[in-house]
Amino acid sequence: MADNFTSLQIENRVFKPAKDFSARAHIKSFAQYKKLYNESIKSPDKFWAREAKNELVWFKPWKKVLDWKPPFAKWFVGGQLNVSHNCLDKWLGTATANKAAIIWEGEPAAPGKPGEERTLTYKQLHHEVCLFANVLKKHGIKKGDRILIYLPMVVEAAVAMLACTRIGAVHSVVFGGFSAQSVADRVFDSQAKMIITADGGFRRGAVVPLKKNVDDAFPLNDAHGNPLTKTIEKVIVLRRAGNEVTFQPGRDLWWHEEVATVDAKCPAEKMDSEAPLFILYTSGSTGKPKGILHTTAGYLLGAKMTSKYVFDLRDEDVYWCTADIGWVTGHSYVVYGPLANGATSLMYEGAPNFPEPDRFWRIIAKYGVTILYTAPTAIRAFMKWGDQWPKKHDLSSLRLLGTVGEPINPEAWMWYHTVIGKKRCPIVDTWWQTETGGIMITPLPGATPTKPGTATLPFFGIVPEVVDDQGQAVPRNSGGKLVIRKPWPSMLRGLWGDEKRYKEVYWSEVPGSYFTGDGCRQDKDGYFWIVGRIDDVLNVAGHRIGTAEVESALVSNSKVAEAAVVGRPDALKGQALVAFVTLKTGITPNQAIRDELRNHVAKEIGPVAKPDDIRFAEALPKTRSGKIMRRLLKQVASGTEIKGDTTTLEDLNVLTKIGSADD
Ligand code: WT7
């Protein structure tokens, strides 16, 4: 810790924007923010019409700003535009054409060795996207077709996404850390026609066998016994890691061979404002991941405006968002938001601590990064690794810091502020979700006074409220559920193919309002303090994991009778996954089974979902009606004393029997 403050003392500190920052910022004062915010709430149609006109290039103007038939919203009805046109063509013929659109840094092989590097100007990126879009067309991809993208953090991931948007195909990016089963589940749900993948990706010196995972997905069946071959016609494979892969003739094609067969003339399709843009799967409190659907105009406007105002983007910035494109942060703040603003977006392939824990600081010094956007879990890891790593590098280019993904503890905020930002850089703690498409609650640098640990106040047009179980606003400083009262342009339009679940999950908890799943409190200044998920979704190192998913992965192992998964506070990851497992009769718990189960979950979902701890029990504590008592398990998992009413517990004894495998 740089300063000796307790959490509470830090929380009560207010950081006013520095005058020199405000003077150059897009929004120059708190008063200006409030004025614009009030306008956006009082006359939303007027506000959004003006912004959409100024920020986006339209092929055809819209007829109506918002058509709201709760819970279904249509924005900029009747308008036509294209996302790739707004991110690329728009800049051709301007000074931005020859500016770096993407600076890519590969994972280095060993300490002291430089990573590979690649820079694409807007003109070059446009060229690559047009070529690849023509490859998609050549293989029969049409407007509305779904394409799965399962790639490492390489330039081609952005190229593939933009190529889809250019011809109106709907992409669904699957994080490279997910398993063959996860790939299969997403193909079954989206009915994708094509998979774009790579031979492998580098991660901490090892090769992640992406193509092999795709091969392993082909024999898997959906609930009706259909294999992937039912919909997948082609698999395009990028040569990246150079590892051996097997090819199925006719189905599998090399990226580099395909782009050599097409020309680079590919006009952007005219897409309706509400044309599906992408599906991104994310965990919910029940069942398999949900396919969050985003559409064209509203999403792009949200990504563009939030990038511009929250990161205060300027022409000369080198902006680095460290998220993987497999998550929504990578969609909105590595690719679409920055490119729509003509910014330079840095992309890094590897891990923050490989080959050494100064990887990020080295990259910042090398490229003169001005804006860094990362996650609290990474910040806490850096704190643990020690100040000597950032201190080895010149970080003076930085002017703005951002965080996202989970609540940031005040200590981590202060460390980020002092050790990385040298007390010069404003911090934007940005709250949002896969569903919201873009940042929702955030300070605007140069305008909003910040306090460590709060995402502060809503972005333009966003109406959040903290409510009780009846949906009534709670007084300041009391806890409640965070809801959003009004529709906003980049909101999800639904869950792919599941209208019923969309209504249930988001719009029935507090009728008429969007339910975020988060707990929250507003302080005396109206600042929003996010407490974390209040549903059965965990946030492990900034990754959203549904407990139900991990439970069903566990019970799919033949040794497991029953499983319950809960979160436990973790100093580094925010939350850790603890699984309580009962084994089938006759099977004795031991360390080997514990390892087997952890690997089983990695195989079913992906390494991100591996339980940190597996505790074996003879039975799980249940209420008389048979519901697992998660509250009790949470207390057991975190080692806190068991509190509250346990009289409805079916068998109190089971609690005492829950222990580690080896006892
Ligand atoms: C959940 C959404 C969208 C960014 C990446 C995560 C938590 C996100 C914050 C923040 C406190 C945060 C919430 C939210 N969260 N940002 N600044 N402060 N909590 O997207 O996987 O859809 O997860 O992440 O719990 O509901 P996601």
Answer for the pair 310, 338: CB distance below 8 angstroms, yes or no. Answer: no
pLDDT beyond 50 at 231: yes
Tokens coding 123: 């003109």
Closest to 544 measured CA to CA, from 216, 175, 48, 244: 175
Q: How confident is the model at residue 662 (pLDDT cuts 50, 70, 90)?
A: very low
Mean pLDDT of the chain: 93
Closest to 579 measured CA to CA, from 633, 642, 534, 632: 633
Q: Considering Cα of 91, then 96, then 98, then 101, what sign does the dihedral take?
A: negative
Q: Report CA-CA distances (Å) from 574 to 407, 422, 563.
A: 8, 25, 22
Helix runs in 113-179, H state only = 122-138, 155-167
Tokens coding 412: 């981590």
Paired residues of 530 in beta bridges: 520
Q: What percent of the chain has pLDDT over 90?
A: 87
pLDDT in tens, 538-569: 999 989 999 999 999 999 999 999 999 999 99
Q: Which of 539, 543, 545 to mutate to test the pocket of ligand 1 (most atoms within 8 A of CB)?
A: 539
- DSSP 8-state code for residue 91: G
Q: How confident is the model at residue 3 (pLDDT cuts 50, 70, 90)?
A: very low
| Residue whose CA lies nearest to ligand 1 atom number 2 | 433
Q: Which of 322, 406, 482 to mutate to test the pocket of ligand 1 (most atoms within 8 A of CB)?
A: 406
Cis-peptide into 355, omega within 30 deg = yes
| Residue whose CA lies nearest to ligand 1 atom number 5 | 405
| Residue whose CA lies nearest to ligand 1 atom number 21 | 544
What is the CB < 6 Å shell around ligand 1?
A: 282, 327-329, 404-407, 429-434, 455, 516-518, 530, 532-533, 539, 544
Q: Which residue has the higher pLDDT, 245 or 109?
A: 245
Counting from 1 in the atom list of ligand 1, the atom nearest the Cα of 432 is 3
Answer for the pair 48, 468: CB distance below 8 angstroms, yes or no. Answer: no
- Return the pLDDT at 2: 38
Please tell me the distance from the alpha carbon of residue 565 to that of residue 548, in angstroms, as a whole number. 7
Counting from 1 in the atom list of ligand 1, the atom nearest the Cα of 441 is 17
Domain ranges of the chain: 463-534, 541-657
Which residue's entry shows tokens 């950081």? 15
Question: How far, in Å, from the CA of 568 to the mean position of ligand 1?
Answer: 17
pLDDT in tens, 58-95: 999 999 999 999 999 999 999 999 999 999 999 999 99
The pTM score is: 0.94
| Residue whose CA lies nearest to ligand 1 atom number 19 | 406
Q: Which residue has the higher pLDDT, 621 or 386?
A: 386
Same fold yes or no, 463-534 and 541-657? no
Sheet strands (E) in 134-233: 146-150, 170-173, 194-198, 201-203, 206-208
- Return the pLDDT at 470: 96
DSSP string, 446-513: TTS-B-TT--BSBPTT--EEEE-TTSPBPPTT-EEEEEE-S--TTS--EETT-HHHHHHHHHTTTTTS
Answer for the pair 312, 59: CB distance below 8 angstroms, yes or no. Answer: no
Counting from 1 in the atom list of ligand 1, the atom nearest the Cα of 408 is 18
Please tell me the distance from the alpha carbon of residue 173 to that of residue 118, in angstroms, as a whole number. 22
Q: Which of 404, 454, 575 to mutate to test the pocket of ligand 1 (most atoms within 8 A of CB)?
A: 404
Q: Range with the lowest mean pLDDT among 80-84, 107-111, 522-526, 647-651? A: 647-651
pLDDT beyond 70 at 145: yes
Which residue's entry shows tokens 């109106």? 168
- Return the pLDDT at 654: 60
Q: How confident is the model at residue 113 (pLDDT cuts 50, 70, 90)?
A: confident
Q: Was domain 463-534 assigned CATH 3.50.50.60? A: no
Cis-peptide into 71, omega within 30 deg = yes
Answer for the pair 144, 170: CB distance below 8 angstroms, yes or no. Answer: yes
CATH topology of domain 541-657: GMP Synthetase; Chain A, domain 3 (3.30.300)
Q: What percent of the chain has pLDDT over 70?
A: 95
Counting from 1 in the atom list of ligand 1, the atom nearest the Cα of 435 is 22
pLDDT in tens, 263-283: 999 999 999 999 999 999 999
pLDDT in tens, 421-443: 999 999 999 999 999 999 999 99
Please tell me the distance from the alpha carbon of residue 323 to that of residue 325, in angstroms, as a whole number. 6
Degrees (nearest 5) of the Cα angle 488, 492, 494?
Answer: 130
